[in-house]
Amino acid sequence: MRRMFLGLCLAAAMLSVPALADTPANTLVVAKAIDDIVTMDPAEIYELSNSEIAVNVYDRLMGLEIGDMKKLVPKVAESYLVSDDGKTFTFKLKSNLKFHSGNPVTAEDVAFSLQRVILLNLTPAYLFQGLGWTTDNVKDMVKAVDASTVSITVSEKYAPTYVLNLMSTVTSSIVDKKEAMAHEKDGDLGHAWLKTNSAGSGAYKMRSWKANESVVLEANPGFRLGAPKMERVIIRHVPEGATQRLLIEKGDIDIARNLTPDQIKGIEGNTDLVVGTFPKATIYYLGLSQKVEALRNPKVQEALRWLIDYQGMADSFLKGQQLVHQSFWPAGFYASLEDNPYKLDPAKAKALLAEAGYPNGFEIGLDAGNTQPFTGIAQSIQSTFAQAGVKVTINAAEIKQVLTKYRARQHDMIYMYWGPDYLDPNANADSFANNPDNSDASTSKPLAWRNSWDIPDISKETRAALQEGDIEKRKAMYLDLQTKLQKSGPFINMFQESEQTVMRKNVKGFFSGPNADLVFYYDVTK
């Protein structure tokens, strides 16, 4: 009953906006499924929806800007120098930048922000641990030289673009040290407070986050690129596409982010609405826990690859929003493997299962989100797996609950997504094809770890590709890794996202880049 009320009103109690009326001229109202948000601390963020919030709330040393998604540019940094040995990066900061609190953005804030990722050792910490940073050395490796200069040292020589790309991630967001430490409890560096609050210098300040309800952002007039056009942005949790469609048709929201292809087809001819298409780098995959005996068998892994109706789904309920893609690095980027060899072939799958010792199939659980497209894809997998005797029990839940179970390695199979943290193939290889420590006590917990895949040899290959300086040799190494993982292992990569966003016709300037942390609101007008 409460959900229906929210589906028909414009959160009037929150902002005193009349129901069933056009949204305020100075406010952008977005409907989206945001049940994957579990934290707002950039040192912990590792989901899609909160990454979108973070890029609008926090700034970074480096990054991509609207207009060129392939050129990494300084943001908070004014300039940078790389030492002759390739191990030290010195960043000079832009002057007169301020946090939302009014505190100046200094090199001490930058150093603190990067150090706390390692010191807190939460999920994204592995990104920086790859630079050789540890709790014991990070304060020596990352230092403020003076108020406007920060020095970053790495343990080995890498291609400079790799290190610079890391400085463009959500994890590298620059936090207001004074504000965070004012809320520190028991040495947590402000973590408990930052889970539900913000301390950034980005285009917007987070006014509130109510789990499974809404996120409200307020414009920062002192933003580095100038004051945002919209004074306020409201992202409402509306998980059902049908409700989003009703709201945008009535003018109660400005943007609907999760309409299904059928729902988008249903609005054809509505001159008040436009559909924007944004190619994404997000990969959707089926993960197979290697704790499950049957799923460790290479012939079972191959059989399951032949039991998915990839094209059937892409041509029906996923049309226009998911493209078949069967490797871990997305199409359209450097070193992408764009070959898709698998299709639905139950006869071939049955033969492989028989060879593996499972002529009658087996029973297995599948964890997936309880909204589209997860439910439709899970049901399709359940149906086609059954054609070879594999009986799938779907465990549907909110994404954050599915992720919690996944991170604890308690699943059998899981249907999940992955978006690269930066646009270099190592961003995905480092998680799909790297697992330096498969123990429960591991400090590095990439996707391979989550699926209990112990791969010392493949991990070495991934490391070698990262360190290769020759562009063409490096490309060949990543193509080889993708080919190996495409044929065997616990990842069945299925789709690459193409986002279709429905907007009221007066909305201009909304931009959704290839990654979740490249969704910008500051240029939107109405």
Please report whether residue 194 resides in a domain: yes
Q: Do residues 373 and 500 lie in contact, with contact meaning Cβ atoms separated by under 8 Å?
A: no
- Sequence letter at residue 395: N
Identify whether residues 248 and 308 lie together within a single domain.
no
For residue 488, what are its two tokens? 């065997």
φ and ψ at 93, to 5 degrees?
Answer: -90, 150
Choose among 432, 428, 436: nearest CA to 451: 432
Residue 329 has pLDDT above 50, yes or no: yes
- The reply to whether 406 falls in a domain is yes
pLDDT-derived band at 20 (thresholds 50, 70, 90) equals very low
Share of the chain above pLDDT 90, in %: 87
Q: pLDDT tens, 482-510?
A: 999 999 999 999 999 999 999 999 999 99
Total residue length of the chain: 526
**Interval 343-367 mean pLDDT:** 98
Whole-number pLDDT of residue 523: 97
| Tens digit of each residue's pLDDT (9 = 90 or more) over 429-457 | 999 999 999 999 998 899 999 999 999 99
Tokens of 16: 């005193």
Q: In this model, does residue 11 exceed pLDDT 50? A: no
- Res. 2: pLDDT tops 70: no
- Mean pLDDT, the chain, whole residue set: 94
First to last CA, the chain: 32
- Give me the domain span that covers residue 118: 59-201
Question: How does residue 21 score in pLDDT terms, banded at 50, 70 and 90?
Answer: low
Looking at the fold, whether 443 and 304 belong to one and the same domain comes out as: yes
**Residue 4 lies inside a defined structural domain of this protein:** no
Asked if residues 364 and 413 have their Cβ atoms less than 8 Å apart, the reply is yes
Nearest to 252 by CA among 29, 487, 495: 29
Do 520 and 475 belong to one domain? no
Distance, in Å, from the CA atom of 274 to the CA atom of 277, rounded to the nearest integer, reads 10
Q: What is the pLDDT of residues 99-147, one digit of tens each?
A: 999 999 999 999 999 999 999 999 899 899 989 999 999 999 999 999 9
Q: What is the CATH number of the domain that holds 174?
A: 3.90.76.10
**Measured between alpha carbons, how far is 516 from 339 in angstroms, rounded to an integer?**
25
Can you tell me the mean pLDDT for 464-478?
Answer: 89
Is there a domain that residue 6 lies in?
A: no
Closest by alpha carbon to 292, among 365, 205, 229, 199?
365
**284 and 239 in one domain?**
no
201, 221, 244 — which closes off a domain? 201
Task: Inform me whether the pLDDT recorded for 55 exceeds 70.
Answer: yes
Contact (CB, 8 A) for 149 and 90: yes
399 within domain boundaries: yes
* Per-residue pLDDT at 4 exceeds 80: no
225 and 346 in a single domain? The answer is: no
Q: Find, among 294, 412, 291, 415, the residue nearest to 353 by Cα.
A: 294
Min mean pLDDT across 11-20, 225-234, 416-425 is at 11-20
Indicate if 483 and 405 belong to the same structural domain.
yes
Indicate whether 462 and 314 sit together in one domain: yes
Residue 71, pLDDT score: 85
Q: Please return the burial class of 402, using the count of CB atoms within 10 Å of its CB with bins 0-12, 13-18 and 19+.
A: buried
Q: Is residue 17 part of a domain?
A: no
What's the token pair of residue 373?
């497209």
Question: Domain holding 347: CATH number?
Answer: 3.10.105.10
- 230 and 283 in a common domain: no
The confidence band for 334, taking pLDDT boundaries of 50, 70 and 90, is confident
Helix, strand or coil for residue 105?
coil
Domain shared by 352 and 256, yes or no: no
Q: Which pLDDT score, from 0 to 100, does residue 196 have? A: 98
pLDDT at 17 over 70: no
- Percent of all residues in the chain with a pLDDT value above 70, rounded to a whole number: 96
**In whole angstroms, what is the distance from residue 367 CA to residue 386 CA?**
17
Q: Does residue 53 sit within a domain?
A: no
Same domain? 232 vs 301: no
Give the CA angle between residues 49, 287, 43 to the nearest 5°: 35
* Domain co-membership, 139 together with 84: yes
Copy the structure tokens of residue 322. Answer: 């998911």
Q: What pTM, to 2 d.p., does this model score?
A: 0.78
225 and 203 in contact (C-beta within 8 Å)?
A: yes
Structural domain ending residue among the three candidates 176, 201, 226: 201
Residue 393: both structure tokens together: 């029990």
- Number of domains making up the chain: 3
Q: Is 11 part of a structural domain of the chain? A: no
381-386 long-range contacts (CB < 8 A, ≥24 apart) are 381/286, 381/307, 381/308, 381/415, 384/307, 384/308, 384/309, 384/344, 384/346, 385/304, 385/307, 385/361
The answer on 188 and 84 residing in a single domain is yes
